[in-house]
C-alpha cells in the first residue's frame, strides 16, 4: 500500500505542474494559504470536507458556491478533484510538500529564524539581504519568537545553524567554567 506521504507528494507535484502549465504558479501559494486559513478558521468546516460520510458532490457544490472565482481555476479544480477522489484530508500534507516543490521551482530557500524579541521591518530586511548574499539565492524567512533565548538570534536552514543567542553564549561560558579550577589545586584536594 502506498503511504500517505507518497500520495500527498504525487498530488503536490500534479498541482504544481498544472499551475506552471496554466501560468498561475506565482499566485498558487497565496491562494492556497488563504484556502487553508479559511478551513482552519472553523473546525466544523474542516471536519465537513474531510468527512467520508458527506457526499463528494455536496462538497464540490459548497466549494463552487464559496470559492469559484475567488481563487485560481487550477487550484479550484484541484480542490474539487481532491473532494471527488476522497483525498481532502491530505490537503495539509499536500501543502507541506508543495512548499518544498515551490521553493525548488522558484529557486529560493526557507530559513528558520528564532529571536527573543520581535524584529523590526528594517532588521528583517537587513537579515534577509545578508542571508541572500551568503546563500546566493532568494530567502523566505520563517521567524519565531522564543523569549527564552534572552537576546540574539538562532538561524537554521538545511544543515546550517548559526546561534548568536545570549542563552547559547551563557551555556558555553558555563561549560567552560565547569572544567576550570579557579581556587587552585589544594582547594579541590
Determine the pLDDT at residue 33.
86
Taking only the tens place, the pLDDT of each residue in 73-90 is 999 999 999 999 999 999
Is the model's pLDDT at 172 over the cut of 50?
Answer: yes
CATH 1.10.520 residue ranges for the chain = 4-104
Query: Per CATH, which fold does 108-178 belong to?
Result: Glutaredoxin (3.40.30)
Cβ atoms within 10 A of the Cβ of 9, count?
Answer: 20
108 forms beta bridges with 138
Distance of alpha carbon 105 from alpha carbon 82, whole angstroms = 23
Confidence class for position 1, pLDDT limits 50, 70, 90? very low
Distance of alpha carbon 177 from alpha carbon 172, whole angstroms = 9
Distance of alpha carbon 132 from alpha carbon 126, whole angstroms = 10
Distance of alpha carbon 49 from alpha carbon 51, whole angstroms = 6
Confidence class for position 189, pLDDT limits 50, 70, 90? low
Q: Does domain 4-104 bear CATH number 1.10.3470?
A: no
Distance of alpha carbon 4 from alpha carbon 149, whole angstroms = 36
> pTM of this prediction?
0.70
CATH 3.40.30 residue ranges for the chain = 108-178
Taking only the tens place, the pLDDT of each residue in 130-149 is 999 998 999 999 999 999 98
Amino acid at each position: 500500500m502506498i503511504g500517505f506521504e507518497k500520495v500527498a507528494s504525487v498530488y503536490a507535484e500534479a498541482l504544481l505542474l498544472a499551475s506552471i502549465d496554466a501560468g498561475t504558479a506565482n499566485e498558487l501559494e497565496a491562494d492556497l494559504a488563504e484556502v487553508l486559513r479559511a478551513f482552519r478558521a472553523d473546525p466544523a468546516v474542516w471536519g465537513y470536507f474531510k468527512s467520508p460520510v458527506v457526499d463528494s458532490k455536496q462538497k464540490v457544490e459548497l466549494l463552487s458556491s464559496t470559492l469559484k472565482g475567488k481563487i485560481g481555476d487550477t487550484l479550484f479544480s484541484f480542490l474539487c478533484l481532491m473532494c471527488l477522489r476522497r483525498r481532502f484530508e491530505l490537503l495539509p500534507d499536500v501543502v507541506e510538500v508543495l512548499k518544498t516543490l515551490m521553493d525548488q521551482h522558484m529557486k529560493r530557500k526557507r530559513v528558520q529564524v528564532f529571536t527573543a524579541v520581535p524584529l523590526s521591518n528594517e532588521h528583517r530586511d537587513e537579515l534577509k539581504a545578508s542571508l541572500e548574499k551568503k546563500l546566493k539565492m532568494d530567502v523566505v524567512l520563517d521567524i519565531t519568537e522564543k523569549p527564552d533565548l534572552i537576546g540574539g538570534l538562532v538561524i537554521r536552514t538545511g544543515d546550517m545553524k548559526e546561534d548568536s543567542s545570549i542563552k547559547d553564549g551563557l551555556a558555553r561560558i558555563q561549560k567552560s567554567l565547569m572544567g576550570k579550577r579557579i581556587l587552585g589545586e589544594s582547594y579541590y584536594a
